[in-house]
Structure 1
Amino acid sequence: MVRCSNNMIGVLNIITFVLSIPILSAGIWLGRRATTDCEKFLQGPVIALGVFLLLVSLAGVVGGCCRNSCLLWLYLFVMFILIVLLFCFTVFAFVVTNKGAGEAVSGRGFKEYRLGDYSNWLQKRVENNKNWKRFKSCLQDGKVCQSLQQNNQTWEQFINDNLSPIQSGCCKPPTACNFIYVNETFWTKPVGYNSSDIPDPDCNTWQNDQSMLCYDCQSCKAGVLANVKNDWKKVAVVNIIFLIFLIVVYSVGCCAFRNNRQDNAYPRYKPYP
């Protein structure tokens, strides 16, 4: 009779195997329809994750249910590496997202964001021209600012709106510029405007060209980091739950591996027919 831990490791990995199929299918689907840098960027990690889960779950099923000690040892080794990497990433995510928050602006319902408030590691990611080109392409493809413009808000409605970090940083000039509001994404410079009198360089970076706006502003990069920070915080919490699950699976796998070794060392007595 196959022992309980071997059955359990088999069932858990069958579930993982089933889950890996839609993940892999989603990656292949993204690859076929990818037309933007954002979609192409997602394609590789999704396919890699699907293939990884597929192979690891197969090793777990064969190693546990078919009592193959070599495959089960390989499965446990990969699981151990995964647990260590996931733990390190979770700690890292909490550390790099510890700094940075939006600043309330007097008389405004939205917050504004400064790049210098975030961790140096995150700042370097968005200040890299190659990385930022990809981020900017995603923002333009997502039409975040165009959707904001469709609201057709009055000035009073706009200043009381609770803009997202990306809308606040990328779709309008900073409040310190004192530009004149025409609509959500179109602002005019006041009479006698002198760029040398404005301490914020984003005022000169801003353009009313709808394909440019403030996509190259420091405030836009800060808005993206504010979004990244919020997402990473959620991912880190999910990782903790997943980490606990992996540790439980790893413990069950260790029991199954011990069972396999014991059975190989002391094979059961089979009576002659």
Structure 2
Amino acid sequence: MVRVSNNLIGILNILTLLLSIPILGAGIWLGHRAHTDCEKFLERPVIALGVFLLLLSLAGLFGSCCRVSCLLCLYLFVMFLLIVLLFCFTVFAFVVTNRGAGEIVSGRGYKEYRLGDYSHWLQKRVENAANWRKIRSCLQDSEVCKSLQEKNETFHEFINNNLSPTQSGCCKPPTECNFTYRSGTVWDKPADFTSSNNPDCNTWQNDPSVLCYDCQSCKGGVLANIKNDWRRVATVNIVFLIFLVVVYSVGCCACRNNRHDDAYPGWKRGYA
């Protein structure tokens, strides 16, 4: 009689196998159409995830349904490593995102962001020239400032907008620069402007390909988004970890069944 735990592991791995196919397909599709650093940056992780899920699900499927003990043991070993890594990442994500928040600006509907408010680890990631070049490319490809360029708003309408962290940090100069507003992405420096204590005021340009993409405020806005995203991911990971622990426990039962059947092949099989 077929073991319940083996059947359950088999069903779960069929679902994982079906999930891996569209993920792998999406990675290959990205690889064929990737023309920018942003698209190329996404391509490899997606393909790697698809291949990993495909191989893991095949090992679990054959190990449980075909009673191949070595494959099932390999499956459980990888699952154990995955649980440990996911747990470590979840704790790490909560630690590195513990600092940093947007600053409320008087008379403004949006917040402004400073790079120094975030954890040193996150700061180092965006201050790395190679990393920032890729992030900057993604920001330009996503046309994050385009909506501000296309709006024909008065200054009063603009300052009451609820801008996203990247729009606030990358598409306009900081409020303390006191530049003159012409449009969402066009701000004139005063005629007597020479330099400012805030380096972002010196970095700002009205060129749509430049704007404040190299400003500290832009990096702060990006980290604000990363913080929010990582917090959401870490919360989801807690639920996923519980699911993985349950699957791992069921897999251990299936592995025990396989060993029992290998040791006593003539015994009648019963439910686990």
Q: Shorter-chain TM-score: what band?
A: over 0.9
Q: How far is the alpha carbon of 1:269 from its aligned partner? A: 4.6
- 1:251 — aligned with what? 249
Deviation track 1:28-77 (CA, whole Å, cap 9, x = no partner) reads 01101111111111110000000000000011011101111111000000
**1:213 partnered with 2:211:** yes
TM-score for the superposition, normalised by structure 2: 0.97
Is 1:238 matched up with 2:236? Answer: yes
| Equivalent-residue separation in structure 1 for 2:193 and 2:220 (angstroms) | 25
Q: CA–CA distance in 2 between the matches of 1:40 and 1:84?
A: 29
1:92 is paired with a residue whose SS is: helix
Q: Is the 8 A contact 2:179 2:189 kept in 1?
A: yes
- Structure 1 window deviating more from structure 2 (259-268 vs 122-131): it is 259-268
Which stretch of structure 1 is more off in the superposition, 5-14 or 232-241? 232-241
CA distance in 2, matches of 1:249, 1:54: 17
Contact in 1 for aligned 2:170/2:218 (Cα 8 Å): yes
Where 2:209 maps in the other structure, the secondary structure is coil
Are residues 1:16 and 2:21 paired? no
| Alignment partner, residue 103 of structure 2 | 103
Number of residues of Structure 1 aligned to a counterpart in Structure 2: 268
User: Within 2, Cα distance between the matches of 1:244 and 1:148?
Assistant: 43
Q: Corresponding residue for 1:46? A: 46
Cα distance in 1 for partners of 2:114, 2:73 equals: 49
Greater relative contact order, per chain length (Cα 8 Å cut-off, separation 6+)? 2
Partner Cα separation in structure 1 for residue 33 and residue 236 of structure 2? 29
| Deviation digits for residues 101-149 of structure 1 (CA, Å, limit 9, x no counterpart) | 0000000000000000000000000101111111111111111112221
The residue aligned with 1:83 is 83
Residue aligning to 1:180: 180
1:264 and 2:262 aligned: yes
The whole-number CA distance in structure 2 between the counterparts of 1:191 and 1:38 is 38
- How far did residue 192 of structure 1 move? 2.6
Task: Report the secondary structure of 2:145's partner residue.
Answer: helix
Residue 126 (str. 1) matches residue 126 (str. 2): yes
Using the TM superposition, give the Cα deviation of residue 96 of structure 1 relative to its aligned residue in structure 2, in angstroms.
Answer: 0.5
Q: Is the 2:100–2:117 contact (alpha carbons within 8 Å) kept by the matching residues of 1?
A: yes
Q: Report deviation, 1:191.
A: 3.6
Please state if 1:68 is matched with 2:68: yes
Looking at structure 2, the residues matched to 73 and 94 of structure 1 have their Cα atoms a distance apart, in angstroms, of 32
* In 1: Cα distance, 2:141 partner to 2:15 partner: 36
Query: Is it true that 1:115 corresponds to 2:115 in the alignment?
Result: yes
SS of 1:214's equivalent in the other structure is: coil
Quick check: 2:97–2:231 contact (8 Å CA) kept in 1? yes
Aligned to 2:166: 166
Partner of 2:211, secondary structure, is coil
> What SS does the corresponding residue of 1:181 show, helix, strand or coil?
strand
Aligned amino acid, residue 124 of structure 2: K
Identical columns (%)? 75
Residue 153 to residue 73, structure 1, CA distance change in 2 (3 Å) = same
Deviation, 1:152, is: 1.4
Q: TM-score, normalised by structure 1?
A: 0.96
Gap change, CA 1:269 and 1:193, over 3 Å in 2: closer
2-structure distance, mates of 1:128, 1:27: 26
Superposition deviation, residue 2 in structure 1: 1.3
Query: After the TM superposition, which residues 186-201 of structure 1 pair with which residues of structure 2 at under 5 Å, given as runs?
Result: 186-195=186-195, 198-201=196-199
Aligned-partner Cα distance in 2 for 1:75–1:248:
14
Equivalent-residue separation in structure 2 for 1:269 and 1:122 (angstroms): 58
Q: What is the CA–CA distance in structure 1 between the aligned matches of 2:15 and 2:152, rounded to whole Å? A: 49
* 2:144 is the alignment partner of 1:138: no
DSSP 3-state at the match of 2:153: coil
After the TM superposition, list the runs of 4 or more consecutive aligned residues in structure 1 that deviate by more than 4 angstroms: none
In 2: Cα distance, 1:44 partner to 1:189 partner: 42
Q: 1:269 to 1:182 in 2, by over 3 A?
A: closer
